[in-house]
Structure 1
Amino acid sequence: MPGITLTLSGAPDAALASQLSHELTELTARVLDKQPSQTMVIVGFVDPSLWFIDSKSLENLGRNSFRLEITITDETTTVAQKRRYQRESYDLLSERVGNVHPHSNVHIIDVRATAYGYGGVPQAEKLWG
């Protein structure tokens, strides 16, 4: 059950959000071996004047940025898969967003199977009964 939260600098753009939702779901399935039907994506936008790196706004820096956070069940992916996902998702988002600050980032968050779930059922019960 990957949960993806993507935050982008800039004005809300429904077409871009939809495109990235599709592309990130596909990438997550292909690289991390996750089910698209169980992949949730939330996309948010932050005004560049309110996003700071080293106390300077992206607006003042003249750059764009993104932060991708994905929660996955601990020990369901390998280090190699995570490394590949880091690179491919960073490259994808850098290309789509353009002019990104090098501190744009990807966080893969491993969560214990007993600590989260969906439909009111912990992930551990779905995995191991």
Structure 2
Amino acid sequence: MPLITIVYASQRRSLSLKREIAEAVTALTAQILRKDPKVTAVIVSEADAADWFAGGASLAEQGLASYWIDVHVSEGTNTKDEKAAYLAAVFDRMASLIGPLHPETYLHVDEVRGDAYGFGGLTQERRYVAASLGVPAHQREV
């Protein structure tokens, strides 16, 4: 159920690049962080490499790409090792999609309290409690 926000800058251009990025990050999020892709939302935005500065120069000047990815998940649902593996896998996959990456490229797994985060009008905490009590899924949204 994560909400994933991706902003990237690259010299590479294609009509399908945003979709490829969304699909790749969704797949890695499912595989490594065990998040259901059916309830994963992804927002992908492109920034101009001439407007993205890292290490004192624009990415365009350096001929490099970069990204900022912010992933919101429920607190305590992933281990340190899973998050480390996720950061490494996303870095490798994004490099293959958008080009050589500047070392100042970021991904933040933001762990949010279950009682302060949710979707469809219900908190994750409420969904967890309902599931623990055996409430059928179709009755959880009351």
Q: TM-score, normalised by structure 2?
A: 0.83
Quote how far apart the aligned CAs of 1:60 are.
Answer: 2.2
Quote how far apart the aligned CAs of 1:54 are.
Answer: 3.3
Classify 1:111/1:54 alpha carbon distance in 2 versus 1 (closer, same or farther; 3 Å). same
Q: Which residue of 1 aligns with 2:4?
A: 4
AA aligned opposite 1:97? I
Number of residues paired by the alignment?
129
SS of the residue corresponding to residue 4 of structure 1 reads: strand
Q: Which residue of 1 aligns with 2:107?
A: 106
Q: Deviations over 1:8-56 (max 9, x none)?
A: 1147754011112112111111111111111111100001121111342
Q: Which runs of structure 1 show a deviation greater than 6 angstroms over 4 or more consecutive aligned residues?
A: none
- Once residues 14 and 124 of structure 2 are traced to their aligned partners in structure 1, the CA distance between those partners, rounded to angstroms, is 33
- Once residues 67 and 82 of structure 2 are traced to their aligned partners in structure 1, the CA distance between those partners, rounded to angstroms, is 21
Q: How does 1:109-120 map to 2 (within 5 A)?
A: 109-120=110-121
Q: Which residue of 1 aligns with 2:84?
A: 83
AA aligned opposite 2:125? A
- Once residues 88 and 15 of structure 1 are traced to their aligned partners in structure 2, the CA distance between those partners, rounded to angstroms, is 21
The structure whose Rg is larger is 2
Q: Percent identity?
A: 31
Q: Deviations over 1:38-85 (max 9, x none)?
A: 111110000112111134221222221111111100001111111111
Unaligned runs of 5+ in 2: 131-142
Classify 1:40/1:14 alpha carbon distance in 2 versus 1 (closer, same or farther; 3 Å). farther
SS of the residue corresponding to residue 16 of structure 2 reads: helix
Q: TM-score, normalised by structure 1?
A: 0.91
Q: Which residue of 2 aligns with 1:63?
A: 64
- Once residues 52 and 60 of structure 1 are traced to their aligned partners in structure 2, the CA distance between those partners, rounded to angstroms, is 9
AA aligned opposite 1:127? Y
AA aligned opposite 2:4? I
- Once residues 9 and 100 of structure 2 are traced to their aligned partners in structure 1, the CA distance between those partners, rounded to angstroms, is 11
